[in-house]
Amino acid sequence: MKPKILVIGDLMIDHYLWGECDRISPEAPVAVVDIRSENKRLGGAGNVMANLKALDCDVGVMSVVGDDESGKDIVLMLENMGVKIEKILKEKDRKSAHKTRIMVVHQQVIRFDKESKDDILESSKDELLNSLKNIIKNYDAVLLSDYAKGVLRDDFCKQIIKIANENSKFILIDPKGSDYSKYKNATLLTPNLKEAMQALKMKIDDEPSLKLALKRLKDELNLTYSIITLSERGIALYNNDEVKIIPAIAKEVFDVTGAGDTVLATLGYALSNKMDIVSALSLANKAAAVVVGKVGSATASLDEIEKYSKSSSSTNLEEKIKSLDEICQILKNSDKKIVFTNGCFDILHAGHIKYLNKAKKLGDILIIGLNSDSSVKRLKGKTRPINSQNSRALLLSALEFVDFVVIFDEDTPLNLIEKIRPDILVKGADYAGKEVIGSNIAKEVVLVDFEDGFSTTNIINKIKG
């Protein structure tokens, strides 16, 4: 089922003029840009919605614009995006936000803005709140995109949060300004390091100060989750009186425009899909990594995130090692063909490599159930395993064709198979004529030949001489 997410906040037009420059003006010491093309996109809350649409969400919107040409363009662009316009009000004396950027060889040269920053009218606030009370039941989460352009005035913001909480909806906010009191009781905020220091009026330059800042945000604002985005370091989470940093994975950064919108949208998508907060933050990091590798306000689709995650796996091997609950959440509503196999993989050898490579080719996602140390000891004897479960899991994760590794403690993988419900269950050809555990659950059982001459037991005996 698609998450249904309502976005409320400041809408604007991001206008890009793309050109080339090979001379300086004779009139003044400035570059002469030869404009070759131009395009317009929805920015601000519009970029949040574009990211949600890229994640295949059903999206609704509420906001206020000016009664001008830019306001008309914003409404038309919303319609073309395919979002549900719950309520867009137009105020006569308001200037719709319009930001023009001149780009030369993928670099922003200058930006000029036309906009109003005054708070929306009292009548606009009341009309939006009345509409919100009627439609809130139709959504899983509410995202507030605050660009300090006047839509999310203090009293309006507080009432939105109150209504969302009364209806048990997630309320996620990209904050602005130095006073966060209007965001009290939200599910979470997404400030970056600079914004957090400004709001808390404190310096954050080491782990103790980061922990204090996260704790203050959580306690003073009564947040469900307290996070601070740390740019290239990742995202810091305050959890059980400890700070956990979910590392960033961006390989190349071309433009950070809109990365905060991507994080907000991805967290809304993930929490609405009932992902735990650590998994949600990890997904948000991956989405942000995709976006900063593009130029201009951009989005990240689920396919792009998956491809980027695979291409980065060599430096984030632990990301492939998942708990059973995490795997079930990842696979929820997936239409991919799931391949499952299991084993001890005590000393990884060429026979294992060829076996797993063949297994991967049978579907889209290969999941390995890995026997824990205690499980191996019961099955193989007190001298096994040679390598610990963490070492074995890490080695398997280094294989490009392995997507996930799940460690299990039972003697058989039946519980894993019951929960994962793979399309294809793979075992070695030596199971021919034998009962394969889980064969009544998987759609298909495939027996794969082992390579001759490879055996963990033989390797161990050879080492012993």
Domain-embedded: residue 317: no
Residues 102 and 16 in one domain: yes
Residues 89 and 143 in one domain: yes
Domain-embedded: residue 283: yes
Residues 176 and 305 in one domain: yes
Strand ranges in 25-91 using DSSP code E only, listed in sequence order: 31-44, 58-66, 84-91
What is the edge-to-edge ordering of all strands in the sheet holding 226-229?
Answer: 226-229, 234-239, 242-247
Phi first, then psi, for residue 335 (nearest 5°) are: -105, 15
Catalytic residue among 14, 58, 261, 346: 261
Counting residues of the chain whose pLDDT is more than 70, the rounded percentage is: 91
- In this predicted model, which residue has the larger pLDDT, 406 or 384? 406
Under DSSP, is residue 107 helix (H, G, I), strand (E, B) or coil? strand
Residues 240 and 338 in one domain: no
pLDDT, residue 350, reads: 86
Contacts 24+ apart (CB under 8 A), 124-127: 124/64, 124/89, 124/91, 125/153, 125/155, 125/156, 127/87, 127/89
Residues 352 and 274 in one domain: no
CB–CB of 152/189 below 8 Å?
no
Domain-embedded: residue 210: yes
CB–CB of 21/14 below 8 Å?
no
Domain boundary pick from 311, 346, 380:
311
Give the least confident one: 112-126, 237-251, 434-448: 237-251
Structure tokens at 55: 């994640």
Domain-embedded: residue 316: no
Q: Which residue has the tokens 């063909």?
A: 337
Compute the CA torsion angle 84, 85, 87, 91 (nearest 10 deg). 160
Residues tagged in the binding site annotation for ATP:
192-195
Domain-embedded: residue 201: yes
Q: What is the pTM of this model?
A: 0.65
Strands 365-371 and 31-44: unpaired
Q: DSSP for 344-375, please give it.
A: ---S--HHHHHHHHHHHTTSSEEEEEEE-HHH
Distance (Å, whole) CA 359 – CA 350: 14
Among the listed residues 19, 149, 22, 141, the one whose alpha carbon sits nearest the alpha carbon of residue 74: 149
- pLDDT tops 60 at residue 252: no
pLDDT, residue 314, reads: 44
> Would you give the DSSP letter of residue 148?
S
- pLDDT tops 60 at residue 202: yes
pLDDT, residue 401, reads: 87
Q: DSSP for 360-428, please give it.
A: HTTSSEEEEEEE-HHHHHHHH-TT--SS-HHHHHHHHHTSTT--EEEEE-SSSSHHHHHHH--SEEEEE
User: In the predicted model, what is the mean pLDDT of residues 382-395?
Assistant: 90
CB–CB of 441/345 below 8 Å?
no
User: In the predicted model, what is the mean pLDDT of residues 238-255?
Assistant: 71
Residues in the chain: 465
Residues 153 and 220 in one domain: yes
Residues 307 and 340 in one domain: no
User: In the predicted model, what is the mean pLDDT of residues 354-364?
Assistant: 91
Q: How confident is the model at residue 65 (pLDDT cuts 50, 70, 90)?
A: very high
Domain-embedded: residue 319: no
Most confident of 37-46, 82-91, 336-345: 82-91
Catalytic residue list contains 261:
yes
Preceding peptide of 385 cis, ω within 30°: yes
Distance (Å, whole) CA 322 – CA 324: 6
Residues 281 and 370 in one domain: no
Structure tokens at 398: 């280094």
Structure tokens at 286: 């991956």
Residues 290 and 339 in one domain: no
pLDDT, residue 428, reads: 87
Domain boundary pick from 311, 335, 367:
311
Residue 36 to residues 19, 39, 106, 197: CA-CA distances in angstroms?
Answer: 5, 11, 13, 41
Residues tagged in the binding site annotation:
192-195
Domain-embedded: residue 318: no
Domain-embedded: residue 38: yes
CATH of the domain at 259: 3.40.1190.20
Counting residues of the chain whose pLDDT is more than 90, the rounded percentage is: 63
Give the count of domains, the chain.
2
Type of residue at 90: K
pLDDT digits (tens, 9 = 90+) for 167-193: 999 999 999 999 999 999 999 999 999
Q: Which residue has the tokens 């999941």?
A: 367
User: In the predicted model, what is the mean pLDDT of residues 132-156?
Assistant: 96
pLDDT, residue 316, reads: 60
Domain boundary pick from 290, 311, 332:
311
- pLDDT tops 70 at residue 129: yes
Continuous segment of H or E residues that includes residue 165 = helix 154-166
| Contacts of residue 118, Cβ cutoff 8 Å, sequence gap at least 6 | 94, 150
pLDDT, residue 204, reads: 95
- In this predicted model, which residue has the larger pLDDT, 252 or 326? 326
Residues 287 and 331 in one domain: no
Phi-psi region of 350 (alpha: psi -120 to 50; beta: other; left: phi over 0): alpha
CB–CB of 42/126 below 8 Å?
no
Instruction: Identify any residues that bridge with 370 across adjacent strands, giving them in sequence order.
Output: 343, 407
CA torsion sign for 381, 386, 391, 393 is: negative
Residues 276 and 370 in one domain: no
pLDDT digits (tens, 9 = 90+) for 324-356: 888 887 787 666 789 999 999 988 888 889 999
Neighbours of 130 (CB within 10 A): 10
CA gyration radius for the chain?
A: 26
- pLDDT tops 80 at residue 296: no
CATH of the domain at 399: 3.40.50.620
Compute the CA torsion angle 284, 286, 287, 290 (nearest 10 deg). 160
Residues 290 and 404 in one domain: no
Continuous segment of H or E residues that includes residue 198 = helix 193-200
Under DSSP, is residue 129 helix (H, G, I), strand (E, B) or coil? helix
Q: DSSP for 207-232, please give it.
A: HHHHHHHHHHHHHHHT-SSEEEE-GG
Structure tokens at 251: 């390989």
- Domain holding 344, by residue range, is 324-464
- pLDDT tops 60 at residue 257: no
Distance (Å, whole) CA 8 – CA 70: 18
